[in-house]
Amino acid sequence: MTAVKKAVDKLLAVLVALLFGVLTLVVVWQVFARQVLKSAPAWTGEAANYLFVWTSMIGIAFVFGERGHMAVTFIAERVPKAARYVTAVLIQLIIIGFAVLVLILGGWRSAENAWLQNSVSLPLNIGWTYVVMPIAGVFIVFYAIIHIIEDLQGRGPLTVDDPTKALEPELPVIADETVVTMLDEGPQDTTTKLDEIEEENAERQPRRAGEADQEGGR
C-alpha cells in the first residue's frame, strides 16, 4: 500500500508542477501581450481559468495526501487515546462522504450539465472545467482510506503515543546549566555567553594539541 501511495504522490506532484508551469507561461504571455503588444489573445484568459481550476483541485488532493492542510488538533490531542482513534477515523469518514457527494457525484453532474456548452475562444467545452472535480474526489477518497489505515495502526498524527511531543521545541545541545542560564538572561547576555563559550573552546584546542605532542614524544 505504501508503494502505491508513493506512486500516486509522484504522479500528482508531476501533474501539479506541469499544470502550474503551463499556467505561469500563459499568464506571463497574456500580461506581456497586453502591456507590450497592446493586444492579448482572447484564448489566454479562458486557458488560464481552465488551468487554474485543474491546478487547484489536483493540488488539493495532493496536499491532503501529505496531510498538509491546516488542522485544529488542540482538543483531540488531549483526550484519551481510544477517543483519539475514534476521532481520527470519524474525521476521515466525513471527508470521504464530502468527497463522494460533493466532488465525485456533484462534479460529475456539473460536468454533464456543462458538456454541451462550448468555449468561446478554445476548441473545448465548459464541461472540462468540472471534470477535474470527480478526479480529485477519487484521489481524496484513496488518501482518506490510507489515512484510516495509518490511524488504526497508530501512525497517524492523532494516534501516536504522545502527539504533544511533536510540538515541543528542541533546545540547543551545549550544556544543561548553560542553556537554562541563557534562557533566563536577555539577548545581549546570551550573545556574550556564546562568545565566552567559543573563547573557551579556542583555548582548549592548543592545550589538547600540546598534550597530544607530548604523548607522541614519549
The full DSSP string for 33-94 is HHHTSS---HHHHHHHHHHHHHHHHHHHHHHHHTT-S----TTGGGS-HHHHHHHHHHHHHH
Please report the pLDDT score of residue 58 as a whole number: 96
Assign 155 a pLDDT band (cuts: 50, 70, 90): confident
CA–CA distance, 200 with 196 (Å, rounded to integer): 6
Q: What residues form DSSP beta bridges with 118?
A: 125
Integer angstrom CA distances of residue 45 from 24, 39, 115:
12, 13, 20
pLDDT at 178 over 90: no
Mean pLDDT value across residues 110-118: 90
Q: Taking the complete model, does pTM exceed 0.85, yes or no?
A: no
Q: Which three cell numbers stand for residue 81?
A: 487515546
Mean pLDDT (whole number) for 140-147: 96
pLDDT value, residue 110: 94
